[in-house]
Structure 1
Amino acid sequence: MRKPQLNLLQLITALVVIISFINPTNIFAQSRGTVAGKVVTSKGEVADNVSIGLVGTSYGSSTNNAGEFSFKAPAGNYTLIISYVGVQPVEVPVTVNAGQTTAVPQITIKASLSQLNEVNVIANRANRFTRKISVDAAKIPLANLENAQSYSTVTSELLREQQVFNVEDAIRNANGIQKMWDATNRAGDGGGYFTLRGFVTQTRLRNGIAGLVTSGIDAVNIEKLEVIKGPSGTLFGSVVASYGGLINRVTKKPFETFAAEIGHSVGSYDLSRTTLDLNTPLGSNVAFRLNTAYNYEGSFQNYGKSRSFAAMPSLSIKANDKLSFLVEAELYYGRNAAKPFFFFYNTPAQMGITDVSQLNIDYKNAYSNDNVTSYARSSNYYAEAKYKFSDKITSQTVFSNTHSFSNGPSPYYYLITDETAVALDPSKPNLPGNNNYIFRNDQSTANSKFAATEIQENLNGDFNIGGMRHRFVVGLDFQRQNSRQIYYGNQYGIVPINDPTFDYGSFNKQLVDATVAANPLTNANTYPYIYRTNTYSAYASDVINLTETLIASLGVRVDSYQNKGSYLLDGTQSAKPFNQTGFSPKFGLIYQPVKDQVSLFANYQNGFSNPGLFTNASNESVIAKLQNANQAEAGVKLSLFDGKLSSTLSYYRIKVNNLLRSVAGLPYYAQVQDGTQVSKGFEAELIANPIPSVNIVGGFAYNDSKYTGGDASIIGYRPNTAGSPYLANFYASYRLPGSALKGLGLGLGGNYVSKNKIINSATEGTFSLPAYTILNSNLFYEKSKYRFGLAVNNLGNKKYYTGYTTINPQRLRQVVLSANYKF
């Protein structure tokens, strides 16, 4: 059967059809008037990006950079309200007259600008699973309909309702992204692995700047997650971004009144979790906030447990009306047993298999004792200074420092044929059938360290020049990476893959410690990643309102990458230093046939990376060319029915050149740089509030990714890192309307993931992880001071696997009960 194909012409045709059915006169023609006014702080500062609306409705807007707002609403008498955490709401009675503008007297809010980060959107509170404005996606405060790039947002309200405790699980609410690996807890690895638009990415960005984490990332300090789609080298460089996009976590910020919330959760597999969110003023214009969580959890398998502690203190200081500071830290500590990873020692073609059902893996067997654990810690320190030269120009100076450390074993298992088992261990019988054994291995880290420092200066402006509005950023960026990652491996023999009489728990701490002691670290048995790099960058981006409904954007980056060389364990240089310069442009265009409600957008985006040195077919060490990814994308963004329906539909095509590949017949370390990959697809996202008590989040993504250049054995094949071609996500929430049970609600959602080819070539064969659908549900009762929640994850107790090049069993059904209390 031929796979469905999408092209740009089909997409544009579909958009024209959609828009032709949207008659602005019919949709918005009601007896309406306009509400307009201005908002300032208690100190007379202009309050921009503040949400304001009418009580009991979804009508409202946000203030612009002059603190002004304007929106339409049906005629009638209302109360206009602004509310934010811990502060008495400001309420103003208004009367809306059809066909007229009601001028509201200037509204003063009892807070400073630093507190406005904690604004609760009352006007759009009904559609609580969306955010209108992003500061980090374009490094310019832009509404979604003004940004020519696609991105998805997962809000803290959604995470709270679903009782999601970590970023890896939270990502299931964003469309077009798929988890591949859980966090390995190894220094420098950067947390969990995902695939986005056909390319691997990680959670490497925090508040728009580098913030690597070794372990799984606790969601206790997450205000929202932004999944920014496509290559984004122009604004974010090559260090933290992937060709498919990047994940930015936006953290909670301090505010200037006292508030505290404590929570505790218990659940299946011995889950026990305690959280605290404490905020307090420390005198005039100074506020402190602490988010912290302790988490313990066992496993659905016979062995496995994890303990983690996260603490995120932050301090905001407003020196005066122009200068403010923000200091934050993320501290993670964990000790975890390894989750089983199954790799292929023999190829699927050699083993005569094509999917998991042909293997005899015991789904509930961890294959190693849970006292085989590794220790990991990560610390991120972040400091920001903002200076407001005028209402038109603002300076942001940011410093970020990241450290990660890991020490200990990380078991994994090779799938092998019986013939290989006998060759490796002649005592093993060649049993009837095949593939009866696994080869136990371990890749440990030995006091591995990874550090990254970033210093960034952004100058933001907002000017009207020649009748056109310019919103721009000019930035300088310096990034340093200092790596001393030490990997070493040991082998622990051939064992049966599924024998109820075998003691799999004998692969324990005592065995590992004895094996490590018998094999001291040397250059010969370690795999060191000891290097230092510096990257110096300059970039600029401008968003230009050519007319009220036509917006153009353009940007460029120059990147100077300096690799200081690589070294062995004893300090011997293993690779020489080298320098490279990269250039990354971007362009975007938006047309709004219905202003602030319908945006047609298109973009060209670029991403790049520095592969470094490689050994060519002549056994020479040479500097690899820059790899470049170029994306063309077009689509439509909608914000209809006063924000009740938000949607993005897009088609993209990404081409990557200069990929490195191995060469058959040469040593495994020899490579050539002639690979090409093309990834194209369609994405659709919907966030809706069809009636006041119902909220819906949904998404669909199709990705067609292929090698188009390189070895003949892979041309035309889907890369084994591209994930599943079809993804879908859905969540619906219902809250009882005003009644004796007000505050009671329930939700149901899930994810569909199609078949995932984790091995895929003409020579190795094709091996697929099966498609799956996972359902999750929750029930909650929430009042102003307390909240109770019950969640059931993997409602159908489905056995399913993730992985790329690997087979990773995932958690079965889990029931979680939570209670929170606010002071």
Structure 2
Amino acid sequence: MIKITYPKIKILFLLIAVISISTAFSQENTGTITGVISTADGKPAEGVTILLKDNNKNTIADNAGNFKIKNVPAGKQTVIVSLVGYDDVEKITDVISGKITVVDIKLSLSNKELSQVVVVANKNSFKTNRTSNSLRLQTPILEIPQNIQVVTSKTMNDQQIFDMLEGVTRNVSGATRVEHWDNYARITMRGSNVAAFRNGLNVSTAWGPLVEDMSMVERIEFVKGPAGFMLSNTDPSGFYNVVTKKPSGRNKGELNVSVGSFDLYRAALDLDGKLSKNGKLLYRLNVVGQTKGSHRQYDFNDRVGIVPVLKYWVDDKSSITLEYAYQKVQTSPIGSNYSFSKRGLADLPITFTTAEANLPKTDMIEKNVSAIFEHKINNDWKFTAQTSYIRYDQEGISLWPQGFDASNDSLMQRGAGNWDVLGLTKAGQMFVNGEATTGNIGHTILAGIDLSSKDYYHDWSQSRAIGTPINIYAPVHGQSTPIVAFDRTLSVRERGVRYYNAYSGLYAQDELSFMDNKLRLTLAGRYTAFKTSDPYSGAVDHKKITPRVGVSYSIDKNTAVYAVYDKAMLENFGSDWQQKSFDPIIGTNVEAGIKKDWYNGKWNSTISAYQITRTNVQTADPDHLNSLGLPYNRQTGEQQTRGVEVDIKGQLIRNLDVIVNYAFTEAKITEDTDPKVIGNQLPGSSKHVQNAWLNYRVDKGIVNGLGFSLGYQYQVKRAPWYVFDNSVQSLPDYFRVDGGVSYTKEKLSFNVVVNNILNKYLYSGAFYNWGPYYYWQAEPGTNVRFTVGYKF
């Protein structure tokens, strides 16, 4: 563990001050380039990337298509507009010292064609105005009657986020992640665990999907509130959509090599280009390899990922994209990252582990094959069909106590159980979107079908004791602990418990625009039919139509207010003590907000207020126990979440990119057959969440390309993600500070990030009344990551 002392902090601040002064007084023979980028149909090309060839300078066009690059060396310069899927536009100009050079560029593509260019090519901003094509929305984020937040690749690179288990949620108001099992991310937002999507397809399962490595990810889109009409039936709190990298049509590559605390070694390669001279056949290849230890002994997480993508342009209107994603993760036994105590939470060192060196490893393998067909019917209409198949295999063990000694609460008997999984997910979608006009009313239309089938088999039926009881306050490891072996003669499919759910949906949406698109009215509906089955609830069929009504009004070109009413329905596995299956969860959302782009799009802000009411939600039923003495579940009647969220992203002032967000969330039980639990905080929610991340980059002088980052995460009145006895259990407030220093010189980059600078004991957990004892996961103390990147 690395310790940061106060003298070292003073030296660091002194160094920053010296660099700032030297930068302020440095003189160069420079000028300024400004201009306007417009599309073929005369609209501003907002959000496109403008860069200088062979120079460490770039910028993003604002909402009016304007751009400005200062401190450009005098002489001939080549201005490039980066266009994914199209030839870059280059323009040579003469820069005169102390003068402003104007360079206006008109693109050959239309405003509609610009969206994917902006999404894939814009790697230089914390902010974006557009969603990916996988969300199916043709409307700019500013005009959508819903809160959508995007985590860009620049943000993830700056913070050195390597997978979904790390700090992605800090960049979105109210999103948190508590505890994990090394294989999937449990993300809570607006009082509930939200669904995981990949490229617009719902890939959520009981224990999945396998966490995506960021080497394969272009961006992550957080959609708040119900949006079942858009993609599938989801939780009323929303979902997050992982958008994977696709071919850009430009020949380029990038290699990143990382080292860090706890024996972290990682290399990621990204290759992008053309396989045919005519540019019809494109490819993208991402490869990653990683070995990573932990602050806990015998705890590790090794990863290999290979993601090849091919895109073929059949003609100017049609394309086929094929993607294969292979991810393999090998970890220490699942659950070895938990600590346990009879006395209370966090009374053991963060290095505590129940693992041993000779315990079997756990292997997780995910294979994902997907295909996308896109056809441009005409200038106004487009048809898309896509399908995906995911196979997930897991074989390993999980660790959990068998109990504590009745006369000595220091002695704990460790237990190991098998945890084997086979998961098969199939999903497909077909939809059309386009624009039409009736009189003075514009229509932006989306309609389609989506299908999904998920088969999961779990086997955790075998368990063993590990050695003799261990003294948790003075543990001794490595004393002839036996290697645990389980009977795997039969396949997981033959011996496992089967969970199955499938759904089909029909949906349609019309966004009507009035008053020259100043006023927009969204009307949408979805018909969903799903089937579920498992040994505990049997087979269940449900069908329902869920509506959506939204309105958005542009006060001016940079400001819009919105309101939305929406409903969602999703499956509700399990049965009560009478073996009756549960009705589906119904979520009703009412939301209003205001969105604003500041300084013509340099940064934006979103403020939203909402209320989500859930009915038919399960909680523990302590009045009815099964044969093992464990409580059945029951439907509580009603839960309600109210909140206010604030998100600020973008370049606040020149060279300073910021992400600042805050969420107030009041999530509680409002109706229940047990009056004692009414008013209790919902598991997994935090009443106050506030995050910030700032990045400043110098763009002139002898330290041109030097950057500094600093951020924190702050959570107040946290509830455990699972409350076993319906009691109110608040965890201590959470405060973590991270920061970094980076340097970019032409094609080479360096980035050092220090996490948990204050070396806080940070954890999440709960009281486990089936023990009874306390359990928790502790995060590492101060730790460092260093990445060297090279673009070619």
TM-score interval (norm. to shorter): 0.7 to 0.9
Question: After the TM superposition, which residues 63-142 of structure 1 pair with which residues of structure 2 at under 5 Å, given as runs?
Answer: 82-84=81-83, 88-91=88-91, 107-108=107-108, 117=117, 128-135=125-132, 139-142=136-139
Amino acid at match of 2:790: Y
Instruction: Give the match's secondary structure for 1:224.
Output: strand
CA distance in 2, matches of 1:816, 1:632: 42
Amino acid at match of 1:486: D
2:262 counterpart of 1:269: yes
CA distance in 2, matches of 1:577, 1:677: 26
Q: Does the CA contact (< 8 Å) of 1:282 and 1:288 recur in 2?
A: yes
Q: What's 1:408 paired with?
A: 396
CA distance in 2, matches of 1:377, 1:498: 33
2:564 counterpart of 1:600: no
Q: Does the CA contact (< 8 Å) of 1:785 and 1:821 recur in 2?
A: yes
Instruction: Give the match's secondary structure for 1:685.
Output: strand
CA distance in 2, matches of 1:559, 1:764: 32
Amino acid at match of 1:255: S
Aligned equivalent of 1:579, options 541, 551, 557: 541
Q: What's 1:205 paired with?
A: 197
Amino acid at match of 1:332: Q
Amino acid at match of 1:248: N
**Cα offset, 1:469, TM superposition:** 1.6
Q: What's 1:179 paired with?
A: 177
User: How large is the RMSD of aligned CA atoms in angstroms?
Assistant: 3.7
Q: Does the CA contact (< 8 Å) of 1:243 and 1:629 recur in 2?
A: yes
**Cα offset, 1:796, TM superposition:** 1.4
Q: What's 1:38 paired with?
A: 39
> In terms of mean alpha carbon deviation, does 606-615 or 663-672 score higher?
663-672
Structure 1 residues 679-738: Cα deviation after superposition (integer angstroms, max 9, x where no partner): 11111111142322111111111111111112223211112232x211111011111122
Structure 1 residues 2-29: Cα deviation after superposition (integer angstroms, max 9, x where no partner): xxxxxxxxxxxxxxxxxxxxxxxxxxxx
Question: After the TM superposition, which residues 548-559 of structure 1 pair with which residues of structure 2 at under 5 Å, given as runs?
Answer: 548-559=517-528
Amino acid at match of 2:469: V
**Cα offset, 1:364, TM superposition:** 0.9
Q: What's 2:687 paired with?
A: 725
CA distance in 2, matches of 1:754, 1:786: 40
**Cα offset, 1:555, TM superposition:** 1.2
Q: What's 1:735 paired with?
A: 697
Distance 1:746 1:759, change over 3 A: closer
Distance 1:520 1:386, change over 3 A: closer
2:539 counterpart of 1:540: no
CA distance in 2, matches of 1:157, 1:165: 13
TM-score normalised by the chain length of structure 1: 0.80
Distance 1:367 1:576, change over 3 A: closer
CA distance in 2, matches of 1:164, 1:261: 17
Q: What's 1:512 paired with?
A: 484
Aligned equivalent of 1:471, options 444, 451, 462: 444
Question: After the TM superposition, which residues 29-428 of structure 1 pair with which residues of structure 2 at under 5 Å, given as runs?
Answer: 37-39=38-40, 51=48, 60-61=61-62, 82-84=81-83, 88-91=88-91, 107-108=107-108, 117=117, 128-135=125-132, 139-169=136-166, 170-185=168-183, 191-202=184-195, 204-211=196-203, 214-238=209-233, 241-283=234-276, 284=278, 285-337=280-332, 338-340=334-336, 342=338, 356=345, 360-372=347-359, 373-413=361-401, 421-422=405-406
Distance 1:438 1:478, change over 3 A: same
CA distance in 1, matches of 2:203, 2:625: 37
Instruction: Give the match's secondary structure for 2:169.
Output: helix
Aligned equivalent of 2:570, options 609, 615, 619: 609
Structure 1 residues 416-455: Cα deviation after superposition (integer angstroms, max 9, x where no partner): 6x6xx32xxxxxxx24xxx434453334223x21111111
Instruction: Give the match's secondary structure for 2:229.
Output: helix
Instruction: Give the match's secondary structure for 2:81.
Output: strand
2:618 counterpart of 1:660: yes
Q: What's 1:707 paired with?
A: 669
Amino acid at match of 1:142: T
**Cα offset, 1:757, TM superposition:** 2.9
**Cα offset, 1:151, TM superposition:** 1.7
Amino acid at match of 2:392: S
Distance 1:329 1:319, change over 3 A: same
CA distance in 1, matches of 2:379, 2:228: 29
**Cα offset, 1:661, TM superposition:** 3.6
| Identity percentage of aligned residues | 21
Question: After the TM superposition, which residues 559-570 of structure 1 pair with which residues of structure 2 at under 5 Å, given as runs?
Answer: 559-563=528-532, 565-566=533-534
CA distance in 2, matches of 1:578, 1:439: 40
Q: Does the CA contact (< 8 Å) of 1:179 and 1:192 recur in 2?
A: yes
Instruction: Give the match's secondary structure for 1:356.
Output: coil
**Cα offset, 1:183, TM superposition:** 3.9
Q: What's 1:643 paired with?
A: 601
CA distance in 1, matches of 2:286, 2:721: 42
Q: What's 1:462 paired with?
A: 435
Structure 1 residues 273-293: Cα deviation after superposition (integer angstroms, max 9, x where no partner): 011001131112111111111
Q: What's 2:642 paired with?
A: 680
2:734 counterpart of 1:772: yes
**Cα offset, 1:382, TM superposition:** 1.4
Q: Does the CA contact (< 8 Å) of 1:343 and 1:413 recur in 2?
A: no
**Cα offset, 1:749, TM superposition:** 0.7
Distance 1:771 1:731, change over 3 A: same
Q: Does the CA contact (< 8 Å) of 1:368 and 1:505 recur in 2?
A: no
CA distance in 2, matches of 1:792, 1:34: 39
Q: 5+ unaligned residues in a row in structure 1: which ranges?
A: 1-32, 63-68, 95-101, 186-190, 346-350, 423-429, 568-573
CA distance in 2, matches of 1:379, 1:687: 35
Aligned equivalent of 1:694, options 652, 656, 671: 656
Amino acid at match of 1:784: E
Q: Does the CA contact (< 8 Å) of 2:262 and 2:294 recur in 1?
A: yes
Structure 1 residues 195-223: Cα deviation after superposition (integer angstroms, max 9, x where no partner): 11110125x21111134554332101211
Distance 1:72 1:768, change over 3 A: closer
Instruction: Give the match's secondary structure for 1:755.
Output: strand
**Cα offset, 1:168, TM superposition:** 2.4
**Cα offset, 1:522, TM superposition:** 12
> In terms of mean alpha carbon deviation, does 142-151 or 526-535 score higher?
526-535
CA distance in 1, matches of 2:298, 2:671: 44
CA distance in 1, matches of 2:248, 2:315: 16
Amino acid at match of 2:345: V
Amino acid at match of 1:601: Y
Q: 5+ unaligned residues in a row in structure 2: which ranges?
A: 1-33, 70-76, 95-101, 768-774
Instruction: Give the match's secondary structure for 2:446.
Output: strand
Distance 1:157 1:511, change over 3 A: same
**Cα offset, 1:329, TM superposition:** 1.9
**Cα offset, 1:580, TM superposition:** 1.2
**Cα offset, 1:591, TM superposition:** 1.4
Aligned equivalent of 1:440, options 394, 408, 414: 414
Instruction: Give the match's secondary structure for 2:761.
Output: coil
Q: Does the CA contact (< 8 Å) of 1:382 and 1:399 recur in 2?
A: yes
Q: Does the CA contact (< 8 Å) of 1:210 and 1:400 recur in 2?
A: no
Distance 1:772 1:624, change over 3 A: closer
**Cα offset, 1:674, TM superposition:** 4.3
